[in-house]
Amino acid sequence: MSEYSLSDLSIYIYVLVLASFIGFEVISKVPTMLHTPLMSGSNAISGIILLGAIVVSVGQKSVLGDVVAFVAVFFATINVVGGFVVTDRMLSMFRIKKGKGA
């Protein structure tokens, strides 16, 4: 027997969909000048999410829990690494090129 009921699952799905919608609406309203600072802040939050996913994955006792925990760790890792790559590329636009000009 599963330790979660169908009503628990529906609440979790509801929270996921609502959080995704609110996150999309908030991020789409951010002006272009604030993208780099916000990206750095979101990288820190993604690092916390990655740590939380690792901690939760340790306590899993079912195969489904292991799979979901692995997927969470995988996507959180992609989010952290990708965020730092994008931030580095954005900051490189403001660096002075060597050998050009002066």
For residue range 2-18, what is the model confidence (pLDDT) as tens digits? 566 767 778 888 988 99
| Pair (10, 53) in one structural domain | no
Q: Which pLDDT score is estimated for 17?
A: 92
| Pair (44, 86) in one structural domain | yes
The residue to which tokens 């919608």 are assigned: 21
How many domains in the chain? Answer: 2
- Report the C-alpha dihedral over residues 88, 94, 98, 100, rounded to 10 degrees: 140
* Alpha carbons 84 and 81: distance in angstroms, whole number: 5
Q: What is the pLDDT of residues 16-66, one digit of tens each?
A: 899 889 888 887 887 777 776 777 777 777 788 888 888 888 887 888 888
User: What's the chain's average pLDDT?
Assistant: 80
Q: Which pLDDT score is estimated for 36?
A: 67
Structural domain of 26? 1-30
| Pair (26, 16) in one structural domain | yes
Which pTM was predicted?
Answer: 0.56
